[in-house]
Amino acid sequence: MRMHAFARAGTTLRVAGIRAGLYCRPMRFERWVGKGDLCALVMTAALAAGCGGRSGTTGVDETSTGTETGTGTDTTAVDETSSGEPETSTTETASASETGTGESTTTGEPGETDTDSTTGMPPVECGNGVVEAGEGCDNGADNGDGKACKADCTPNVCGDGAVGPGEGCDDGNGRDGDACTNACAVPECGDGVAGLMEECDDGNGVDTDACTNACTSATCGDGLVQDVVGEECDDEANNGPTAACTAACKQAVCGDGFVQDGVEACDLGKDNGPGQECLAGCVLNVCGDGDRSPSEACDDGGTEPGDGCNAACELEACGNGVLDAGEACDDGDADNDDACTTLCKPATCGDGFTQGSAGEACDLGPDNKDTGDCTLGCQLPTCGDGLVWDNHEQCDDGPKNGDEAWCKSDCTDNVCGDGFKAPDEECDDANQSNDDACTTVCKNAACGDGFVQAGEECDEGDANAEDAACTNICQQAECGDGLVLAGVEECDDGNPIDTDACVQCQTATCGDGFLRMDTEQCDDGNAVAGDGCDATCKLELGAQVKLTGLGVAVPDGTYKGQLAQMACVNLNVNNANKVADVTLQVGITHTWVGDLVFKLVSPDNKVLTVMSRPGNTEPLDDGVSGSGGDSSNISKDFPVLFRDGGLKNAELMGNTLADGATVCQADGACDYFPNHGAGPGLSFADFDGIAAKGTWKFCAGDRAGSDAGTIDSVTLTLTLMP
């Protein structure tokens, strides 16, 4: 069934539908087309448009298209939504065909259409009881801002600012602590949220904590005993200085300075006691009790007259100006600052009367004491009087007080950590650090004090020792420090050299695998005979030539690649066996080791370049090409060993040392394998199989001037074949 609309501003007209006939709601226009109901007009128009005579059609044709043949015009009724002055209605016509296309035209005055111009669907109508697109709910006439569905067809939820069903309030602000909680409930005491009218709200139902069940902060006088704030009692309005519960919510006790009604007769606090107006049991000191109060002239415990004290506790004679029996004096006046007190006793310190004219600053009578508030000399206590005032002073040495004395100027003890150096302290920096110049025991920081300070590796106090793990100079004991660590080291000669009498802090012995150059010809690390080195570290079949004290000068800066330009030492061997292995030890003194070239020449003139200018990769063995080489030095006192099994490449000699440091001495690198550089030969194996007999030569050359030296010792060791 086709749908057309009368459209005008703010007015929508719809055809509700036809089911088993025509259905029409009574409507009226705001702008009149005619007077009265339009129902007849609409029905007539619908019939005239050719509804197809179909019965049983239900609902509204939502797409404004049909499948009927032919064309027609439907007129929809105007659904009245407001009242006012009549307006001219707008009639929209539409046509459709099952077999072709249709066009919609609008005639009349411009206005709103009752269908979406894009989809052809009726517009969403809030309040029709149907939840349509864009609506969260629609309860029709039951919509409303106080209902489950609001007037704008959105659900009424907590936080939207509208009070809905089940909500006590809704301020929409998302804040607790105001007139409406975030749960949309009116705040009430006990809900756990402190409202505007509440001091607190812990919601726990406990009256004895910091927040009462009335949502007020715990306070003395609220009738609740809150021990969390130190209350012992709380009688609300009955609290008071004379009540069983004081104004500070403390249990009234004798000596608190408050007179409890019906229980105590008096209470002077700390002034209760003998000779006071109030005795120790908080009872009044009355005449006749035998204890003279400050207001009594006497109290002999009786009321008989004639004994010097009458029934009113007045002196029967003292004060009458007449010296009576039992009186030391009687000047007849009430002045206690003269020579005779009102007790007819001579004025004296300790009589309870302050005689300013006699130089007294105070007088507490029997309470005078040198550690109290009034001294035995009737003077007020002060720091420096030599008397220690209880609860005020820690010490008082009188004129000996001082900030570097046992008792400081403020009469406090001079203790370690107070920033003042006491007589038994070396220092006092008032801190708890042991890393500075003054330790926490107020001693000057020093090796041996048991604290590790800057520059120290350890400090075991009295346990420091030359043979201990922490030495006397507070350094960790280590091999090479020149100190023998007990139980760990056998020796320590202070160097890392493995060819002397102390090797890795153990005494060098034959068979330890380290060649001791001064006593051993070989050391293969075992005591097995027949392997070339016997159990006494002598060569079983070999030859050794050792020359010392040579003093042969190395020509300065002359080496250009020729043996003739080198200083050479002859080494004569008489054994005719063939060579199996070669080692060479050299003791030479020379600066700038990077200038030096060492060569070994066999009797058959085979040449091995043992070392060639360390630190300089020269392309030619000419003494010219390349850079200056390593700047460290070599010394005859620290000879170096060359062998094919050496520990370090000869090219790297001195590479870890600073300028001028001595090879072997400073780095412990004393054992090298040959590196020929650009010179002839490869290794000592070049000599294997040649006849040992004849003159061998060790030669040393210097390729640059200004750095000179001498050859001091050479040891050639040959292992021979059988």
> What is the tens place of the pLDDT at every residue in 674-697?
999 999 999 999 999 999 999 999
- Per-residue model confidence (pLDDT) at position 522: 82
In a domain? residue 479: no
From 123, 157, 185, the end of a domain falls on 123
In a domain? residue 390: no
pLDDT tens-digit map of 138-161 = 898 889 888 999 988 999 899 888
**In the structure, what pLDDT confidence band is assigned to residue 166 with cuts at 50, 70 and 90?**
confident
Closest CA to 126 of 112, 145, 110: 145
In a domain? residue 715: yes
Mean pLDDT of 41-48: 35
- Per-residue model confidence (pLDDT) at position 14: 33
CA dist 667 and 655 (Å) reads: 10
Q: Using the structure block, give the residue that is written with the tokens 């009234």.
A: 252
616 is in which domain, residue-wise? 544-720
pTM of the entire predicted model: 0.39
On the 0-12 / 13-18 / 19+ scale of CB atoms within 10 A, 436 is middle
Beta-carbon contacts of residue 425 (< 8 Å; ≥ 6 apart): 414, 416, 442, 443
Taking CB atoms within 8 Å and a gap of at least 24, the contacts of 316-325 are 317/344, 318/342, 318/343, 318/344, 319/344
In a domain? residue 182: no
From 80, 108, 123, the end of a domain falls on 123
Type and span of the H or E element at 622:
none
On the 0-12 / 13-18 / 19+ scale of CB atoms within 10 A, 593 is buried
From 66, 95, 123, the end of a domain falls on 123
pLDDT tens-digit map of 337-393 = 999 999 999 999 999 999 999 999 999 999 999 999 999 999 999 999 999 999 999
Token pair of 662 as six digits? 């001595």
3-class DSSP state of 610: strand
In a domain? residue 709: yes
- Per-residue model confidence (pLDDT) at position 410: 95
In a domain? residue 680: yes
E-state strands within 458-529: 502-503, 506-507
More confident: 421 or 62:
421
**In the structure, what pLDDT confidence band is assigned to residue 47 with cuts at 50, 70 and 90?**
very low
On the 0-12 / 13-18 / 19+ scale of CB atoms within 10 A, 196 is exposed
CATH number, domain of 628, equals 2.60.120.260
Question: Which amino acid does the sequence have at 125?
Answer: E
**In the structure, what pLDDT confidence band is assigned to residue 120 with cuts at 50, 70 and 90?**
low
**In the structure, what pLDDT confidence band is assigned to residue 173 with cuts at 50, 70 and 90?**
confident
CA dist 584 and 603 (Å) reads: 15
In a domain? residue 57: yes
Report CA dihedral (348, 352, 356, 360) to the nearest 10 degrees. Answer: 70
Asked if 57 and 19 count as a contact pair (C-beta separation under 8 A), the reply is yes
Domain tally for the chain?
Answer: 2
In a domain? residue 623: yes
Lowest mean pLDDT among 34-48, 163-177, 572-586, 701-715: 34-48
